[in-house]
Amino acid sequence: MTIAMVDGEGVSFRQRAGRWWPVVVLAPSLLASFVYVVVFTLWTLYISLSNSGLLPSYGFVGLENYASLWANRRWNIAYNNLFFFSAFYILGSMAVGLLLAILIDQRVKGEALWRTIFLYPLAVSFIVTGTVWSWLYNPADGVQMLVRSLGWESFSFALASDRNTAIYAVIITGIWQSSGFAMALFLAGLRSVDPDLVKAAQIDGASAFRTYRKVILPTIAPIFLAVAVVQIQFAIKTFDLVAALTRGGPGVSTTFPAIYVYDLMFQRGQIGEGAAAAMMMLAALAVVLVPYSFFVVWRRRRESRHG
Amino acid sequence: MADLSLARVADPEAAAAGRRFLAGRIAIYGILGVFALIYLAPLVVVVLNSFREQPEIARNGLINLPRSFTLEAWSSAWGSYCIGGTCEGMKRNFLNSLAMTIPATIISTLLGALNGYVLSKWRFRGSEALFTLMLLGVFMPGQIALMPWAFVLGKLGLTNSTYGLVLVHVIQGISFTTLFCRNYYVSIPDDLIKAARIDGAGFWRIFRKIVLPLSPPILIVTVIWQFTGIWNEYLFGVVFTSGREQPITAALVALTAGGTTARTYDVMSAAVLIGALPPLLVYFFGGKYFVRGLTQGAIK
């Protein structure tokens, strides 16, 4: 609820000045956010419609950059990869995170230790994770070499070096990095479920599995959404992970829009087309972002109506 | 859930339940153990390799128990290893990252706390819409902002400078910090604020005396989130800086990409750990509060 401003005659100077503080405090951040969100987006949109090459220029060329972008096979692969990766990465992280959270919720011993183990990858960068996993995937030095040296000579583990499977290497590494985060959120959700509700289900004779499926998981449904939204944040960052893990290869098999934008803008001097690619990334995001922000606004309204 | 251990009475049904319980326990710890192994293995491999001698790694393999011990890799990675022509190790980039991350974290957290305070306790007409606008910043992919930032940083004379990255990260971070703090402050009872106002306390006094003392849980979350996020960021670092001015993430990629020569896993392992250590330390000391606070603030 908004606090009613104290109105009336005997308002001191301090109080009147105080009325402006909220606006004064908020203004710089607002201005910065406005420039960052609105101006920068429109700016990039404009560049994407211009004939910018090595340097930005402002000759209007309409949708030419978009046409040449979509005519490019590599871009199409990159765009497909983004959706393929995001879907498996988000579902994978959630599945692993939920499994770990439920297991830890069974009053296991040493809970803090388990949690720390599963959560620490979140603290390190995709660069660090990608680098180290690229060594493990490397057939000459990594897991394959280890197993072969133990005597299984025909063992093959070369996910990241095969163009058909490299994307799975990226997905697995991504899940490793962020499933702990999902676990932490799910665990907190499980802990917030009303114990009476659970007890009632057990008295009714529901099995543990049924209790989870019918009682506990539905009550923490909002957490699923929260986890998904945060994971999409990470999915957008595929630039870091891929840059360190596979550098888009082998061939173009793990190219992502983020990598492609960077290449166009800073390696190949095609700024206009790079901006078009960046706008397409935003479009992909908007598919998720627009419904979600409507949902947030709707929920906030309801929240404030109920005090 | 499963431990309805009423197995004190010695009847067959209870015994069966006890056996089921035991089997369940074994399964739980078994699965957790397997996952723990997968989660820890990469860290263990890197730590061990950073203390091994490169010839021994080459001979016995990357994933193997160490049969040599040296601190050579660490000192080389820190101060003398060659990355793209300059042989100064990671030291300079490490300090760049510190000089970038610490101010950006502090500034964006302070701004977030103030914004969150206004947007939760001093709402005005249209403030919700403004909050939504700021929220959009959370979702902005960095790629959209690359060209505009390059132009702005150029105009400000902050190209290839740590200060430029501080600016970028502060502005990008405001949306996160505001979101966290706003969602947390909403749960401070309005009556508390109202009472203070009746007592004549103004905007700043209420912030200092009531809101700030209640803030540590969310400030810890925000600081950890910002510190790890900014330290680990790569895209802006690699685009807006080069060579000696690069933050450590960009330097790490430059180092490990180092082309044709045989891979020096010892030095690379030490370098990776140098790059991972600060956020890991922050996490180990604050992780407990992070999870607790995150669920109070971020997830609403």
**pLDDT given at position A17:** 64
A5-58 residue pLDDT tens: 444 445 566 666 667 888 888 999 999 999 999 999 999 999 999 888 777 777
Residue where a domain stops, chosen among B27, B60, B80:
B80
Residue A50 — φ and ψ, nearest 5°? -110, 170
Work out how many domains chain B is built from and give that number: 2
Of B179, B178, B207, B212, residue with least CA distance to B193: B207
Do A108 and B28 lie within an 8 Å CB cutoff?
yes
Buried b / exposed e across B150-172, counting CB within 10 Å, b at 16+?
A: bebbeeeebbebbebbbbbbbbb
**B170/B220 same-domain check:** yes
Read out DSSP for A50-108? BT-SSS----B-TTHHHHHHHT-HHHHHHHHHHHHHHHHHHHHHHHHHHHHHHHHTTT-
In a shared domain, residues B129 and B68: no
Nearest to B140 among A36, A149, A240 (CB): A36
Instruction: Say which amino acid occupies A266.
Output: F
**Quick one: closest CA in A to B33, which residue?**
A114
pLDDT category at A144 given cuts 50, 70, 90 is confident
Q: Is the pLDDT of residue A3 over 50?
A: no
Exposed (0-12), middle (13-18) or buried (19+): which is A294, by Cβ within 10 Å?
exposed
**In sequence order, what are the residues at sequence separation of 6 or more whose Cβ sits closer than 8 angstroms to the Cβ of residue B198?**
none
Q: Is B195 on the interface with A (CB under 8 A)?
A: no
Contacts of residue A256, defined as CB under 8 A and 6 or more positions apart, other chains included, come to A78, A81, A82, A85, A238, A239, A242, A248
- Secondary structure of residue A158 in the 3-state scheme: coil
B137 in contact with chain A, both atoms CB, cutoff 8 A? yes
Rounded to whole angstroms, how far apart are CA atoms B140 and B255?
29
Q: What pLDDT is attached to residue A4?
A: 44
pLDDT of A261 > 80? The answer is yes
Q: Is residue B6 one of the residues assigned to a domain?
A: no
Q: Per residue in B30-75, pLDDT tens?
A: 999 999 999 999 999 999 999 998 888 888 888 888 888 888 889 9
Contact B147 A44 (CB under 8 A): yes
User: Which B residues 142-181 touch A at CB under 8 Å?
Assistant: 142-149, 151, 171-172, 174-175, 178
Residues B159 and B239 in one domain: yes
Instruction: With cut-offs at 50, 70 and 90, classify the pLDDT of residue B263.
Output: confident
C-alpha distances in angstroms, B114 versus A1, A32, A42, A217, A245?
18, 15, 28, 36, 39
- The helix, strand and coil proportions of chain A, stated in percent and rounded to the nearest 5, come to 75, 0, 25
Residue B86 domain-assigned?
Answer: no
Q: What spatial distance separates the first Cα and last Cα of chain A, rounded to whole Å?
A: 6
Beta pairing partners, A60: A50
Residue B2 domain-assigned (yes or no): no
Compute the distance between CA of residue A305 and CA of residue A294 in angstroms, rounded to an integer: 17
* Whole-number percent of chain A with pLDDT over 90: 34
Quick one: pLDDT at residue B142? 87
Residue A199 corresponds to which amino acid?
K
- Rounded CA-CA distance B58/A117 in Å is 29
Window 173-212 of A, Cβ < 8 Å to B: 176, 180, 184-185, 187-189, 192, 198, 202, 208, 211-212
**Is-contact A264 A271, C-beta < 8 A?**
yes
The torsion angles phi and psi of A222, rounded to 5 degrees, stand at -60, -30
**Lowest model confidence (mean pLDDT) among A296-300, B124-128, B248-252:** A296-300
Window 257-286 of B, Cβ < 8 Å to A: 257, 263, 265, 268, 272, 275-276, 279-280, 282-284
Q: Give the Cα separation of A16 and A184 in Å (integer).
A: 45
Range of weakest confidence among A27-36, A148-157, B27-36, B196-205: A148-157
Contacts of A15 (CB under 8 A, 6+ apart): A6, B202
Same domain, residue pair B56 and B172:
no
- Of the candidate ranges A269-278, B219-228, B284-293, the one whose mean pLDDT is the lowest: B284-293
Using the Cβ of B134 and the Cβ atoms of chain A, whether some distance falls under 8 Å is answered with: yes
Q: B105-147, pLDDT tens digit by residue?
A: 999 999 999 999 999 988 888 888 888 888 888 888 889 999 9
pLDDT of residue A1: 39
Q: Where in the sequence is the domain holding B22, given as residue range(s)? A: 12-80
Paired strand residues for B183: none
pLDDT at B296: 63
| Four-CA torsion B109, B110, B115, B117, nearest 10 degrees | 110
Query: Domain A72-305: which topology?
Result: MetI-like fold (1.10.3720)
**How much is the average pLDDT of A265-275?**
90
Give the closest of A14, A142, A180 to B63, CB-based. Answer: A142
Contacts of residue A54 in chain B, CB cutoff 8 Å? none
The distance in angstroms from the start CA to the end CA of chain B is 26
CA–CA dist B22, B20 (Å, integer): 5
Compare all CA atoms of chain A with the CA of B290 and give the residue at the minimum distance: A184
- Alpha-carbon span A5 to A22, nearest angstrom: 12
Chain A residues with CB under 8 Å of B110 CB are: none
- Boundary of a domain, candidates B22, B51, B80: B80
B133 and B208 part of one domain? yes
Q: Do B74 and B97 have their domain in common?
A: no
Higher-pLDDT residue of A276, B125: A276
Distance (Å, rounded) from C-alpha A143 to C-alpha A135? 9
E-only strand ranges, chain A: none
Facing residue for A32 by CB, picked from B29, B139, B171: B171
What residue segments make up the domains of chain A, in order of their start? 72-305
Report yes or no on B44 lying in a domain: yes
Query: Do B201 and B103 have their domain in common?
Result: yes
- CATH number for the domain harbouring residue B115: 1.10.3720.10
Give yes or no for residue B239 having a pLDDT over 50.
yes
Residue B23 has pLDDT above 90, yes or no: no
Residues 6+ apart with CB under 8 A from A116: B284, B287
Using pLDDT thresholds of 50, 70 and 90, give the confidence band for residue A200: confident
Q: Using one digit for the tens of pLDDT, what is the confidence trace for B168-184?
A: 999 999 998 998 899 88
Chain A residues touching residue B237 (CB < 8 angstroms): none
pLDDT at site B139 = 80
pLDDT beyond 50 at A2 = no
- Specify which residues B86 forms β-bridges with: B83
Do A281 and B143 make contact, defined as CB atoms within 8 angstroms?
yes
Residues of A in contact with B226 (CB under 8 A): none
Q: Are residues B48 and B100 in the same domain?
A: no
With beta carbons less than 8 A apart as the criterion, state whether B133 and A34 touch: yes
Spacing of C-alpha A211 from chain mean position: 30
User: Are residue B158 and residue B246 in the same domain, yes or no?
Assistant: yes
CB proximity B3 to A under 8 Å:
yes
Chain B neighbors of A222, CB-CB under 8 A: 299
pLDDT confidence of residue B48: 92
Domain boundary among B49, B80, B111: B80
